[in-house]
Amino acid sequence: MKPKVAIFEFGCCEGCQLQIPNLEEKLLELLEHIELVSWREGSSAHSEGPYDITFVEGSITREEEKDRLRQIREKSRILIALGACAHIGGVNAIKNSMDQEEVRRYVYGDKAEWFPSIPAMPLSAVVPVDYVVPGCPIDKEEFLEITKALLMGKTPVLPNYPVCVECKRAENICVYEKGLVCLGPITRAGCNARCPTFGNRCIGCRGLIDNPSINAHKEVMARYGLCAEDIINKYRMFWGYAEVIK
Amino acid sequence: MSGFDINVHYVSRVEGHGNIVVKVEDNQVKEMRWEIPEAPRFFEAMVRGKHYSDVVFIISRICGICGIGHTFAAIQALEKALGFEPSEQTLLLRKLLLHGETMQSHTLHFGYLALPDFFGAPNIIPLAQSHREQVLAIIRLHRLANELCDLIGGRTTHPITTVVGGWTRLPTEGELKELRRRLTEAIADVKAVVKLFASLEMPAFQRETEYIALKKPDEYAFYDGEIASTDDQRTTPLPWYKEKIHEFIVPYSTAKRARSNRESYMVGALARFNINYAKLMPLGQEAAELMGLKPICYNSFMNNIAQVVEVAHAIEDSIRIIDTLLARGLKEEKVEIKPRSGRGVGGVEVPRGLLIHDYTLDEQGRVVDSNMIIPTNQNHQNIEEDLKAYLPHLLGRSKEDITLGLEMLVRAYDPCISCSTHFLKVEWK
């Protein structure tokens, strides 16, 4: 019997699950090996579970979402965080360092109490997460590799070296040489340094490597003329939830 | 069946979460609500204090489908605030990349999300068997659109190369020539899709409403323009958008709503078609004719058809843009921007309609105030008014048929609910 696969989402842009139709013909091939039983964005069919593999996109930003996530976890043999919001909180956590009440008032005025919100958190803050497809958005080929590994009973492994390694391998001119500041030295690789390869800088969407030299990196950024506020803003774009940068 | 309730919790095959709530008693509609329970994300608050060069990365994350459009609306607003004029080459490439997003998003919607309804299928998968050639044409168009975005923007979702001032990487002339060849080949695929949609029967439903879209004297406006309405004689320049678009809020929805001259209005492909049809490229005009779409069309279901028309237009116009770029020759451009304080408003026609970004910067180029008007927010009230007008036509059918009919109407709008709940700034008076 084909493994039953489900896709759910919380606070996010749904851009990661959109990479699934972007697989084009490869999606049709993938569907020969899995049964996609619940995917609201792509199908009206819905199953209440249980599921063999569940992908969850988005971060938790409302109290009641924790229960919904726990229920999904209970019905899922394997639970996978899909993309930066689910993996590390992502851009949703930019607001975590701000006055929560003030943020809601700025957006909703005196009706702020109609729209409760809590600081954004990754799935792993609420339930155990088995695997991660990192990135903002995810890389569709990496999604396919991880899914294939699981279907073959293997354990998917993410690289634990920084984006710089892949950037050197791609023979890019170092982003710092071009006068831009880059988070590549402490960000987990696996994207083939896509942003530097297209002439931009790494913004850290795949999260930190396991033992990042944060202080050394801060010194480098300061040497390139960034003040403390700009450095922390760059870190907080994707890592607002991470303890290490608080 | 004279009385019943319908509660569609999370309409499927749309981007984000929306509910339809219906109550009918003695064949009278007692209640009809379009609810948005999506989690709010507070982007307008989050960009404050951020340097303009970081803002572009953050706001593209509002939307997984139209990140390119959000990026351009922000870049346009920030460049105006900074007093920077982009080059003609930059504008041509931006228009080309925006066509890529329109083609990608529209094909995803009419092909993958809306089409299954017309064959009683829950998703596109069964159609891959029964209508293999047409589905493969849709897949090829979708892939080509993504490849256009990958080449010019670095990727489709959350582009990389698009920055305030211009580009971090230019395509080579060889890459553009290859893209031109692929676009030319795709004309056959778009004609096959037009033929398929011409054979579908769209529900007969009319409700006169107001349509709003950007307008330009010399082209079918996507990248910029002034605000035009089917109810107005004159267009409104973007900086005065607040005089045209009046936002309001209802307690059962985390998304804001908007009205202009009437109780509601519509933005998106059908609105653009109704306002700008005379400026369509010949392939777009031919597609409209074959599928029976004529201005002014008051049938919201025809938004699906208008999207097919725009894909035909975008393919032909992309070829024209590439020819212009190749004739000019691509040049690396030196860009110098000095931070300064100021305000700028940018407006772009993204796949789902008019999108406006508005920023105020301080002397260091950091955001002190921001506001965004999102296409789907502008459509929410029109969706609800349409649902109210359409439901009486469906009474007497089975509850399943009524539910499907209402869901199809919502889907025709191609709502992007993730986008619409991320900008809920309300000014309470």
Calculate how close chain B gets to A47, using CA atoms only, in Å.
13
* Residue B256: pLDDT band with limits 50, 70, 90: confident
Contact A136 B13 (CB under 8 A): no
3-class DSSP state of B70: helix
Calculate how close chain A gets to B277, using CA atoms only, in Å.
30
- Residue A87: what pLDDT? 98
Contact B39 A117 (CB under 8 A): yes
3-class DSSP state of B312: helix
- Residue B428: what pLDDT? 33
Contact B418 A12 (CB under 8 A): yes
Closest residue in chain A to residue B256, using alpha carbons only: A108
User: Which residues are paired to A59 by β-bridges?
Assistant: A11
Calculate how close chain A gets to B218, using CA atoms only, in Å.
33
For residue A59, what is the DSSP state? B
- A22: which chain B residues are within 8 Å (Cβ-Cβ)? 142, 146, 156-157
For all residues of chain B together, what is the average pLDDT?
Answer: 92
From residue A56, give the alpha-carbon distance in Å to each of A17, A68, B227: 9, 11, 39
ipTM above 0.90, yes or no: yes
Contact B143 A24 (CB under 8 A): yes
Q: Which two tokens stand for residue B115?
A: 């089409």
Contact B40 A98 (CB under 8 A): no
What mean pLDDT comes out for the span B328-342? 95
What mean pLDDT comes out for the span B345-349? 98
Number of inter-chain CB pairs under 8 A, A vs B: 168
Which domains, from first to last, does chain A contain? 4-151 (3.40.50.700), 163-245 (no CATH)
Alpha carbon A51 to chain centroid distance? Answer: 22
Q: What are A204-234's pLDDT values in tens digits?
A: 999 999 999 999 998 988 888 888 888 888 9
Q: What are A19-52's pLDDT values in tens digits?
A: 998 998 888 899 899 999 998 878 787 889 899 9
* Residue located via tokens 């330009």: B216
CA pair distance A192, A83, nearest whole angstrom: 16
3-class DSSP state of B170: coil
Label each residue of B342-376 as H, E or C.
EEEEEEEEECCEEEEEEEEECCCCEEEEEEEECHH
Closest residue in chain B to residue A237, using alpha carbons only: B58
CA pair distance B325, B176, nearest whole angstrom: 9
Contact B39 A11 (CB under 8 A): yes
* Residue located via tokens 């029967």: B201
Phi, psi of B164, rounded to the nearest 5 degrees: -60, 125
Establish if B188 touches chain A: CB-CB under 8 angstroms.
Answer: no
Which value, in Å, is the radius of gyration of the alpha carbons in chain A?
19
Asked if residue A190 lies in contact with residue A87, where contact means CB atoms within 8 angstroms, the answer is no
CA pair distance B16, B380, nearest whole angstrom: 13
- Residue A224: what pLDDT? 86
Quick check: A246 pLDDT over 60? no
Q: pLDDT: is B26 or B76 the higher one? A: B76
* Residue B419: pLDDT band with limits 50, 70, 90: low
Candidates A8, A39, A44: best to mutate against B (most CBs of B within 10 A) is: A44
Range B189-228 burial, b when 16+ CB lie within 10 A, else e? bbbbbbebbeeeebbebeeebbbbbbbbeebbbbbbbbbb
* Residue A235: pLDDT band with limits 50, 70, 90: very high
Quick check: B427 pLDDT over 50? no
* Residue located via tokens 């920084």: A162
Nearest to B15 among A41, A58, A90 (CB): A41
Q: Which of A25, A90, A27, A16 is nearest to A55 (CA)?
A: A16
What's the pTM value of the predicted model, to 2 decimals?
A: 0.95
- Residue A243: what pLDDT? 65
B226: left (phi over 0), alpha (psi -120 to 50) or beta: beta
Which domains, from first to last, does chain B contain? 43-420 (1.10.645.10)
- Residue B34: what pLDDT? 87
Kindly state the helix (H) or strand (E) to which residue A127 belongs, with its residue range: none
What mean pLDDT comes out for the span A104-125? 86
- A118: which chain B residues are within 8 Å (Cβ-Cβ)? none
